[in-house]
Amino acid sequence: MPKLKTHKGAKSRFHTTGSGRLMRTKCGKSHLRRKKAPRTKRLYDETLRVSPADRKRVGRLLPYR
């Protein structure tokens, strides 16, 4: 069976924890943050789990996670 290729865009956007959970960051972190409230900016710092609806699709993009 041939080797599977990792999707490089997904590799930079998602990471796996030690227990195998897929984690993601929130969108909207890069620019236009100056006008947002400090509380809102802090909410962008946390990483979230990938939803169960998307887990299978993201898992296919990262075969050797």
Domain spans of the chain?
8-61
pLDDT digits (tens, 9 = 90+) for 14-53: 999 999 999 999 888 888 888 999 998 898 889 999 999 9
* Predicted TM-score of the model (pTM): 0.77
Distance, CA of 39 to CA of 35 (rounded, Å) = 12
Distance, CA of 58 to CA of 22 (rounded, Å) = 8
Residue 65 has pLDDT above 90, yes or no: no
* Exposure letters 48-57 (e unless 16+ CB within 10 A, then b): eebeeeeeee
Residue 43, CB-side half-sphere exposure with 13 Å CA sphere? 8
Residue 3: pLDDT band (50, 70, 90) is: very high
Q: Is 21 exposed, middle or buried (0-12, 13-18, 19+ CB in 10 A)?
A: exposed
In CATH, the number for domain 8-61 is 4.10.410
